[in-house]
Amino acid sequence: MLGIRISKKALPLAVSRNSLRRKLRETFREHSFINNPYAVLLSISSKIQAEKKDINDILLPEWKSLLDQLR
């Protein structure tokens, strides 16, 4: 189970917030946690100082690293 909360202050553009949510959900689904199911709440509340196109490139590797640690 995955819950994602991204504040408007962190990413003002709804397009960016929704795109990031979709990509985070997709990577969470790709990692199978059949033996050890997890409930994860991801909350991004600090302002992200980056270009719109760079946000996913910054956050997704960190997210994938965290998911690998759960395995």
| Cα–Cα distance measured from residue 2 to residue 24, given in angstroms and rounded to the nearest whole number | 9
| Cα–Cα distance measured from residue 2 to residue 16, given in angstroms and rounded to the nearest whole number | 19
**The total number of structural domains that make up the chain:** 1
- What letter represents residue 68's amino acid? D
| Cα–Cα distance measured from residue 21 to residue 3, given in angstroms and rounded to the nearest whole number | 10
pLDDT in tens, 22-60: 999 999 988 877 777 888 999 999 998 888 888 889 899
Q: Per-residue confidence at 21, pLDDT binned at 50, 70, 90?
A: very high
| Cα–Cα distance measured from residue 58 to residue 35, given in angstroms and rounded to the nearest whole number | 29
Containing structural domain, residue 32: 2-70
The pTM (predicted TM-score) of the whole model is: 0.84
Q: What is the pLDDT of residue 5?
A: 96
Q: Per-residue confidence at 61, pLDDT binned at 50, 70, 90?
A: very high
